[in-house]
Structure 1
Amino acid sequence: MTDALYRSAPLSAPERRRLTTSDGIDLDTALLRGGTDRTTAVVLANGFTGTWRSPGTRSIAERLLPIGDVMTFDFRGHRDSGGLCTVGNLEVHDLEAVCAHLRGLGYTSVASVGFSMGAAVAVRHAAMFGGVGAVVAVSGPSMWYYRGSRRMRLLHFGVEQAFGRWFLRVARRVRVIDTGWDPVPPDPTQAAPDLAAPLLVVHGDADSYFPIEHAERLYAAAPEPKDLWIEPGMGHAERAMTPERAERMALWLARRMGGRSGGEDGERGT
């Protein structure tokens, strides 16, 4: 990795914490310490059905530790967190609860890194609440109700049909609302112009959920400073992350949160 940002750090077991959102939902979270900068923290927001317990999420978190300590959590309706998943709507309150908790612990700079549904939440959260030093949106949608891929049609079946919700609850330990949004919240592209933090959009050209047009649409809507990486051969979200990609994200965060840019910041497909 350039600039030799990544290096091994002594790791301790994740510190389990229960947090409560502003709308009363109990969240299961884990703080991973080992960063050398105790003023900066990074929050990882998983995709739909994702969990902080997954080896993939842990691997990404470890690669971000040179930036600071990393907090991961399960969105509402996922595993041991309370409530019902709203598939990207009320989850902004989950992310705000985690960011506020970190600020309460004394971290003066907090960044959010979201994947798929978590990417949409990270963009909307930063636009609505502010308070983050940088946002990374990986494999995120630019609009709601997209059904242009087979996987997204299956996902809609899972959240809209009783059998699909039963399967998610039994097989993936995810509990989903059985009603539609009312009102429909602004989508990530509509929220992006209100961002006051640097944005990095990362998307694979082999994503089987959302084509790269989603990344390009989101990037075009956001104000500067912003960067877009279209990654050759990359699939979708956490499972498509490699150590090298996570390390480059860490380098981008270090530069942007430190007020610096250059090198690969503005490059596509690096």
Structure 2
Amino acid sequence: MDTAAEAYDERLRVSPITSGGRRVFLLTSDGVSIDAEYRPARSGSSQLAIVVAHGFTGALERPAVRRTARDLSAFGAVVTFSFRGHGGSGGRSTVGDLEVLDLDAAVRWARELGYRRVATVGFSMGGSVVLRQAGRLGNRTEVLNTGPEVDAAGTEVDAADTQVDAVVSVSSPARWYYRGTAPMRRVHWLVTRRTGRAVTRFGLKTRINSRDWDPVPLSPVESVPYIAPTPLLIVHGDQDGYFPLDHPRSLAAAAGPDGAELWIEPGFGHAENAAGPDLLARIGQWLTGRVAEM
């Protein structure tokens, strides 16, 4: 490759929809390599692609993420990927900040594959990312910590390529720095302490950026008002040990009247590890219903 632009184009080069899945590495607009996988819809005729965004310390190889992809493929094609610092992806996790660029790359790939409709389904950290990514498209005043988004050739990224048609956020926090539960206090120890980051790196295969956010990105609850008119579903369990019910309720309230649908799921715990086939099927049905209305 003679230029950075050619290298960027080569990493993103894909062919139209095929009958089989594929594994690729995508390049984000800030130059991070993202491990991604495409699974065609089981029906073979769907024009909907569902991009799944996993939780903190997850990856596309994790059994819960693979099970989620399999179940959602009954309703559309599925793109899974590992966030930066997770699994086979490059870079280091910023725990919900620059991960919006990883999601952008996955959505862009779904568009490149030829899908007319693209929806995002995020869990926990991924749930906050899908809210921020959709809200950022409606709030062009937010500047990410990288500055203006450009590709390797220095060309500003077209936001239309990352536009989504529906958003599902499962087990998402509403605000940053929440330490009100024991599991979240453990997460903060893993993220903020050198020993915790070492445990996460070697024990959970997740590499975390040690720098503090500067500036602090908009929180999920601050992003939600900018998502409308894109259909939004907020899903949360009444047995979630990480984030109590004031989080989903505040997200739904921030969306405004008719801005979001809220499901409080009895007996449901946290994120993709707790999401069973019945809940995933209802999420898939909600997505196909919203897309059919467009």
Letter in 2 for 1:86: T
Shift of 1:201: 0.5
Letter in 2 for 1:20: L
Whether 2:93 is the aligned partner of 1:85: answer yes
Whether 2:38 is the aligned partner of 1:31: answer yes
Shift of 1:14: 4.6
Q: Is the partner of 2:50 in helix, strand or coil?
A: strand
2-side partners of 1:34 and 1:233: how far apart? 29
Between stretches 112-121 and 13-22, larger displacement belongs to 13-22
Q: Is the 8 A contact 2:252 2:259 kept in 1?
A: no
Among the aligned pairs, what percent are the same residue?
46
Q: Please name the residue that 2:10 is paired with.
A: none
Q: Is the 8 A contact 2:46 2:77 kept in 1?
A: yes
Between stretches 128-137 and 112-121, larger displacement belongs to 128-137
Q: Is the 8 A contact 2:241 2:269 kept in 1?
A: yes
2-side partners of 1:146 and 1:77: how far apart? 22
- Two-structure CA RMSD over aligned residues (Å): 1.4
Q: Which runs of 5+ in 1 are unaligned?
A: 1-11, 261-270
Whether 2:223 is the aligned partner of 1:191: answer yes
2-side partners of 1:172 and 1:40: how far apart? 32
1-side partners of 2:276 and 2:198: how far apart? 32
Letter in 2 for 1:91: E
Q: Deviations over 1:189-236 (max 9, x none)?
A: 000000031111110011000001100000111143421110111110
Q: Please name the residue that 2:75 is paired with.
A: 67
Q: Deviations over 1:5-62 (max 9, x none)?
A: xxxxxxx875211100000000001111134334210000000001111221122112
**Among candidates 15, 19, 22, match of residue 29 of structure 2:** 22
Whether 2:289 is the aligned partner of 1:255: answer yes
Q: Please name the residue that 2:174 is paired with.
A: 142
Q: How does 1:70-219 map to 2 (within 5 A)?
A: 70-129=78-137, 131-196=163-228, 197-219=230-252
Letter in 2 for 1:46: H
1-side partners of 2:46 and 2:290: how far apart? 17
Q: Please name the residue that 2:274 is paired with.
A: 240
2-side partners of 1:173 and 1:58: how far apart? 17
2-side partners of 1:17 and 1:252: how far apart? 29
Q: Please name the residue that 1:263 is paired with.
A: none
Q: Please name the residue that 2:147 is paired with.
A: none
Letter in 1 for 2:134: A
Shift of 1:66: 2.8
Q: Is the partner of 2:85 in helix, strand or coil?
A: coil
Q: Deviations over 1:152-193 (max 9, x none)?
A: 000000000000000000011111011110000000000000
Between stretches 217-226 and 250-259, larger displacement belongs to 217-226
2-side partners of 1:251 and 1:165: how far apart? 39
2-side partners of 1:238 and 1:135: how far apart? 16
